[in-house]
Structure 1
Amino acid sequence: MQRRQLEERQRKAEIEAQKDAILRTILTPEARQRLTNVKLVRPELAEAIENQLIALAQSGRIQAQITDDELKQILAQLNSQTRKDYKITIKERGWK
């Protein structure tokens, strides 16, 4: 049982190392830092962006490194698509 868990952890670590290596080549250091910050706040969004960027890089659709400003634009577009608006309604009751 422990051996299986150890192998799974090693496999996940290898995959993460490969992802990190690819992202290091396609993102500028500032963009990588921004993506790391996003990962702290919204890990699912950062994971989706990472996977999308890696897929684009592997298909040859990314020609130059993505800058921080370009990553900001990508994040803004995704945020506007996935953002949820919350409405809080307070109803007065006679509980005084």
Structure 2
Amino acid sequence: MASSTIMWLDEENNAAEFEPVGTHPHYRRRGLTRAMLLHGMHRARAAGATHATVACLGTPGHPRARELYYGLGFRELSRDAPLVKAAIAG
């Protein structure tokens, strides 16, 4: 598989969410993810969605993903804060 995403359609809130989104490293920078997202957004609009979100690793280690999403018109909405708990010694 070269690239994949799942689009979740929330008909109650007229929203679509793309998550997860990914492309195999050997197939990146070929427009596959962009094409998938554009196709999904067109399908979502046809189904009544008025906005879309994408779950993105917003860390500095993933600038190309963020650039892709910004280039498609997405903007930052929020950032998740990872929660970590140390293992409890048994």
Give the TM-score normalised by the residue count of structure 2: 0.27
Higher strand content, 1 or 2: 2
Bigger RCO (CA 8 Å, 6+ sep) = 1
Larger radius of gyration: 1
Higher helix content, 1 or 2: 1
Give the TM-score normalised by the residue count of structure 1: 0.26
